[in-house]
């Protein structure tokens, strides 16, 4: 793309300011900027007014979860089924580690964060050790796919390499990068992060499968016989990954996808809850839950929208293939975006200053025909780290890891301690 073409493209979206510093750039920087303009989809940028009206929900009704007593009664059957498919090489795990972790406020990838108290315990380490528990029982390695973004790819790969993958067999570890999207101010004007570079951010965790496909990794997984992918977030340090019981339950139920869920600890807890939307499985975000829905009761008198998702899903790959090219809704999220000030100096804002544009994995659920919400005990499986302090923070996760010792039978297990 040459300068004139770039200018024409920018004009059609009201983004001419992108070329403001063009004449100050070196030849290479100019070329890089023209390429970035060519590759950027400016059509997604919206102003605040439009952002407020996006993504209307359909008719919401309850979706019953498989709850702990039923799971307890069938756990041996589920476990045996799950272990069998793991041993047959049909299960892979996908770590979503492409996020920026802005709320945690570290410049490193979130997984590099040390949550230890008496010794170093990195988030990546905890997650890999959790997965190793299953590898040991199954006596079979589970392919681990790690999604990064252009912002943290090198650092993530290097860190895991330097730490010898925390004992994981590196033959079973594959990295892939997710796509990026432009970030804008509240009026939908794209920010510049450098004079020759548009501010971009990872485009959300919803593009994980299409990115896996883009890099040929999904095709390879399918050719290797992988039929199920357990997708999980980087920030829940207590979660069980490739959990045989969960896998067995989803397979036995014959669902396209399973979602680990926990009972909400408070009505205003910031987790999305499982539901049906226009008769199809869906997740309603905490800020979309009306008072009426929050107060609704099921036939047992329990809250009807009670089971919160913890970003741990098991997808059937053949069903993912059917939705791979579907366009998921775009979520407009207020975030802190590094940008240039009026003097062309780079600033890292202290508070949100604009919008990032994201597709979310939870919207994939609605595209699929059937979903099994599978309850897990939050004391054993939910310790999210979103913030440095306060709610869902390093501090709370440390406490939850310590408390978990009280509820698990393998209390001597060093893995649990931080």
Binding site residues, ligand UTP, CB under 6 A:
96-103, 110, 147, 178, 202-205, 233-235, 311, 358, 386
Minimum Å gap between C-beta 42 and ligand UTP is: 19
Q: Which residue is nearest to ligand UTP (CB)?
A: 99
For residues 96 and 262, which CB has a smaller minimum distance to ligand UTP in the complex? 96
| The dihedral formed by the CA atoms of 106, 108, 112 and 114, expressed in degrees to the nearest 10 | -30
Say how far apart CA 315 and CA 247 lie, in whole Å.
Answer: 10
Say how far apart CA 191 and CA 200 lie, in whole Å.
Answer: 8
**With contact defined as beta carbons under 8 Å apart, do 250 and 372 qualify?**
yes
Minimum Å gap between C-beta 176 and ligand UTP is: 11
Say how far apart CA 105 and CA 108 lie, in whole Å.
Answer: 9
Question: Which of the 8 DSSP states describes residue 327?
Answer: P
Minimum Å gap between C-beta 30 and ligand UTP is: 28
Q: Given its phi and psi angles, is residue 390 left (phi above 0), alpha (psi -120 to 50 degrees) or beta?
A: left
Tokens of 125: 């380490």
Minimum Å gap between C-beta 158 and ligand UTP is: 17
How many Cβ atoms are within 10 Å of 321's Cβ, its own excluded?
Answer: 13
For residues 97 and 229, which CB has a smaller minimum distance to ligand UTP in the complex? 97
Say how far apart CA 401 and CA 239 lie, in whole Å.
Answer: 11
Minimum Å gap between C-beta 27 and ligand UTP is: 32
**With contact defined as beta carbons under 8 Å apart, do 305 and 275 qualify?**
yes
Minimum Å gap between C-beta 67 and ligand UTP is: 25
**With contact defined as beta carbons under 8 Å apart, do 238 and 396 qualify?**
no
Minimum Å gap between C-beta 310 and ligand UTP is: 11
Tokens of 188: 């939908």
Closest CA to 236 of 253, 260, 201, 264: 260
Tokens of 247: 């896998």
Tokens of 400: 């939850």
For residues 264 and 386, which CB has a smaller minimum distance to ligand UTP in the complex? 386
Minimum Å gap between C-beta 324 and ligand UTP is: 17
**With contact defined as beta carbons under 8 Å apart, do 229 and 318 qualify?**
no
């Amino acid at each position: 793309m040459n300068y004139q073409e770039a200018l024409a493209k920018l004009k059609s979206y009201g983004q001419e300011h992108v070329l403001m510093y063009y004449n100050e750039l070196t030849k290479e920087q100019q070329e890089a900027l023209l390429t970035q303009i060519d590759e950027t989809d400016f059509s997604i940028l919206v102003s605040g007014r439009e952002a407020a009206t996006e993504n209307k929900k359909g008719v919401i009704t309850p979706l019953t979860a498989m709850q702990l007593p039923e799971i307890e009664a069938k756990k041996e059957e589920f476990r045996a089924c799950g272990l069998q498919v793991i041993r047959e090489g049909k299960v892979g795990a996908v770590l979503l580690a492409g996020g920026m972790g802005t709320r945690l406020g570290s410049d490193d990838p979130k997984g590099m964060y040390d949550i230890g108290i008496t010794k170093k315990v990195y988030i990546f380490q905890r997650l890999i050790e959790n997965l190793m528990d299953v590898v040991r029982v199954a006596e079979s390695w589970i392919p681990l796919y790690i999604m990064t973004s252009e912002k943290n790819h090198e650092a993530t790969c290097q860190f895991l390499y330097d730490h010898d993958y925390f004992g994981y067999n590196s033959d079973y570890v594959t990295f892939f990068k997710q796509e990026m999207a432009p970030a804008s101010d509240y009026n939908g004007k794209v920010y510049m992060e450098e004079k020759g570079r548009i501010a971009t951010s990872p485009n959300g965790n919803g593009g994980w499968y299409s990115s896996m496909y883009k890099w040929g990794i999904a095709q390879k997984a399918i050719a290797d016989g992988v039929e199920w992918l357990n997708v999980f977030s980087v920030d829940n340090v207590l979660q069980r990954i490739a959990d045989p019981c969960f896998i067995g339950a989803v397979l036995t139920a014959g669902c396209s996808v399973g979602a680990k869920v926990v009972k909400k600890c408070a009505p205003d807890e910031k987790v999305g809850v499982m539901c049906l939307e226009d008769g199809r499985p869906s997740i309603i975000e905490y800020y979309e839950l009306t008072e009426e829905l929050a107060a609704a009761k099921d036939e047992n008198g329990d809250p009807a929208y009670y089971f919160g998702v913890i970003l741990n899903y098991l997808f059937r790959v053949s069903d993912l293939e059917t939705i791979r090219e579907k366009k998921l809704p775009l979520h407009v999220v207020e975030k802190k975006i590094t940008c240039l000030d009026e003097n062309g100096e780079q600033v890292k804002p202290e508070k949100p200053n604009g919008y990032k544009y994201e597709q979310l994995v939870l919207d994939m659920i609605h595209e699929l025909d059937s979903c099994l919400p599978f309850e897990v005990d939050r004391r054993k499986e939910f310790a999210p780290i979103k913030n440095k302090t306060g709610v869902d923070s390093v501090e709370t996760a440390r406490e939850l890891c310590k408390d978990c010792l009280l509820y698990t039978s393998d209390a001597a297990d060093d893995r649990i301690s931080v």
